[in-house]
């Protein structure tokens, strides 16, 4: 099952549970606009290579489209369209005044020189410029794109419009309008959602144990901030292997070890375990923060966590969801749990629009308040409609978008 097919299952379950008007469902199920572009790039050897890029705007019902741009050899139209739809739901759940979008370029950036990468990036902006802008569609970093690439994009777009354009893009360096608090934002959101879930399950964080899969941006910040709440982190993994200690792993010390050695493996005081053993560990909380498709129909029955809080996008397949539900495992879905990144991107945009910047403390306070509110709304929807948290999250999102579609006259409700 590809990402698009996977994403349709909870969405259709939500549409059915809330008895959504078929006209509204038809609008929501399709992206508003998708653009495919070809980008000719002058390579360092004097030849021209043409790259294919995309921008999909799933929805602008609640506000400008919002979502990252990924550079990857396997990017395809279906993936970009699905991720754009996830962004619509993620923004609606968090209550942000945005729709959803996503972009991509089919490229392995590691094979380009810095100059080629910059020319490719500027070329993508030149081609998608007519449909983006601070009130139309606001890109951001995603897989293999970063603050430098956002800087080139901002510069190119500013040249096209003839004015300083910090608000058309987020994930920028602080010196050109980036926000404090963005680096840890997704992990902080995962931690906040996880703490709310522990409350629901009446588990005391100070007595709880946790396993974190992945120790990149999301996983490392999730582990650090959950550790700060008094939870004992007993297992952590990365692509090279997993480590375990029932005495607890200090993620701050582990980050220093990773900076030195490049991997979490062989960290002092821990034993090596397999990735499967990490997922199956007897813990209160499991945070998959690495990549999609990790909890599947093949391993879900073996999981022992009481709560799963999804930092990665799409770590659980729909067949696994059904098994976890039967086992009584409380799953906080990705579109709720990892919405912290886009929430602080929204704060960056707000600060750019009024050219006034907040302290990191202000950013964190506002982020945590929004995440807690979103969690409560999703939890309440899941109780009201007697569905799991994933379907509850779609109900919460679609409910908001539907109200906006009605009031905008996009269909006539029966
Ligand atoms: P990253 O590249 O910084 O880190 C990924 C981590 O996962 C690395 O530690 C890597 O070694 C590890 N990993 C990869 N394959 C693994 C495997 N098979 N088993 C165990 N570990 C493995 O990426 P990131 O930015 O932390 O993103 C992680 C996930 O979170 C992705 O699904 C991404 O789409 C999602 N996400 C990220 C953000 C963000 O702000 N960075 C926001 C929302 C969602």
Annotated active-site residue 202? The verdict is no
For atom 32 of ligand 1, which residue has the closest CA? 312
Tens digits of per-residue pLDDT, 289-342? 999 899 999 999 999 999 999 999 999 999 999 999 999 999 999 999 999 999
User: Distance, CA 225 to ligand 1 centroid (Å)?
Assistant: 16
Selected catalytic residue, list 66, 90, 102, 224: 102
Nearest CA to ligand 1 atom 23: 216
Residue-wise pLDDT for 171-185, tens only, equals 999 999 999 999 999
Q: pLDDT value at position 171?
A: 96
State which ligand 1 atom lies nearest to the alpha carbon of 238. Answer: 21
* Range 185-335 has CATH code 3.30.420.10: no
Tally of CB atoms within 10 A around 204? 11
CA of 219 to the centre of ligand 1 (A): 7
The pLDDT value recorded for residue 115 is 98
Q: Please state the pTM of the whole predicted model.
A: 0.95
Banded model confidence at residue 386, pLDDT cuts 50, 70, 90 = very high
Q: Return d(Cα 63, Cα 135) in angstroms, integer.
A: 8
**Is 254 close to ligand 1, i.e. is its CB under 6 Å away?**
no
32-166: CATH number: 3.40.50.10860
Other Cβ atoms within 10 Å of 126 Cβ, number: 15
**Torsion angle, CA of 193/196/198/201, rounded to 10 degrees?**
-120
Segment 59-71 shows an average pLDDT of 98
Whether residue 1 is predicted with pLDDT greater than 80 in this model: the reply is no
pLDDT band per the 50, 70, 90 thresholds, residue 5: confident
**Alpha carbon distances (Å) from 105 to 70, 123, 302:** 6, 11, 38
Q: Which residue owns the Cα nearest ligand 1 atom 14? A: 239
Distance (Å) of CA 313 to CA 238, 317, 334? 16, 11, 6
Residue matched to tokens 């809330």: 18
Q: Which of 189, 219, 347 to mutate to test the pocket of ligand 1 (most atoms within 8 A of CB)?
A: 219
Q: Is the pLDDT of residue 6 over 80?
A: yes
**Which residue, by CA, sits nearest to atom 15 of ligand 1?**
239
Q: Which of 218, 251, 341 to mutate to test the pocket of ligand 1 (most atoms within 8 A of CB)?
A: 218
Mean pLDDT of 370-394: 97
Instruction: Give the nearest ligand 1 atom to 294 CA.
Output: 18
For the chain, which residues make up each domain, given as ranges?
Answer: 32-166, 185-335
* Mean pLDDT computed over every residue of the chain: 97
Which residue's alpha carbon is nearest to atom 36 within ligand 1? 312
Single out the residue of 63, 61, 40 nearest to residue 50, CA to CA: 40
């Amino acid at each position: 099952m590809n990402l698009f097919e996977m994403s349709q299952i909870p969405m259709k379950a939500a549409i059915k549970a809330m008895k959504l008007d078929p006209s509204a469902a038809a609008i929501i199920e399709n992206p508003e606009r998708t653009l495919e572009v070809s980008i000719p790039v002058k390579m360092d050897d004097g030849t021209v290579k043409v790259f294919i890029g995309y921008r999909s705007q799933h929805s602008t019902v609640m506000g400008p489209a919002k979502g990252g741009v990924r550079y990857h050899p396997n990017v395809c139209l279906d993936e970009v369209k699905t991720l754009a739809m996830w962004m619509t739901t993620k923004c609606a759940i968090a209550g942000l005044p945005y729709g959803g979008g996503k972009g991509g370029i089919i490229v392995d950036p590691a094979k380009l020189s810095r100059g080629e990468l910059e020319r490719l990036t500027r070329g993508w902006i030149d081609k998608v410029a007519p449909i983006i802008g601070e009130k139309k569609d606001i890109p951001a970093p995603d897989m293999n794109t970063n603050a430098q690439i956002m800087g080139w994009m901002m510069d190119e777009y500013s040249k096209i419009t003839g004015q300083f354009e910090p608000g058309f893009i987020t994930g920028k360096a602080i010196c050109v309008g980036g926000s404090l608090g963005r680096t840890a934002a997704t992990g902080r959101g995962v931690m906040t959602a996880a703490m709310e879930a522990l409350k629901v399950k009446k588990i005391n964080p100070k007595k709880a144990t946790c396993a974190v899969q992945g120790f990149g941006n999301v996983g490392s910040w999730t582990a650090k901030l959950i550790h700060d709440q008094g939870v004992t982190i007993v297992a952590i993994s990365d692509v090279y292997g997993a480590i375990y200690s029932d005495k607890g792993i200090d993620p701050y010390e582990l980050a220093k070890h990773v900076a030195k050695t490049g991997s979490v493996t062989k960290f002092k005081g821990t034993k090596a375990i397999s990735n499967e053993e990490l997922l199956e560990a007897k813990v209160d909380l499991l945070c998959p923060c690495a990549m999609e498709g990790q909890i599947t129909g093949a391993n879900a029955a073996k999981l022992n966590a009481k709560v799963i809080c999804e930092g990665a996008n799409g770590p659980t397949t729909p067949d696994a969801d059904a098994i976890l539900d039967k086992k009584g495992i409380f799953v906080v879905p990705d579109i709720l749990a990892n919405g912290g990144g886009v929430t602080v991107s929204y704060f960056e945009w707000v600060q750019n629009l009024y050219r006034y910047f907040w302290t990191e403390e202000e950013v964190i306070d506002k982020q945590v308040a929004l995440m807690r509110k979103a969690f409560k709304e999703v939890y309440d929807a899941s109780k009201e409609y007697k569905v799991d948290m994933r379907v509850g999250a779609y109900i919460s999102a679609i409910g908001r978008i539907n109200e906006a579609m009605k009031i905008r006259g996009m269909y006539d409700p029966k």
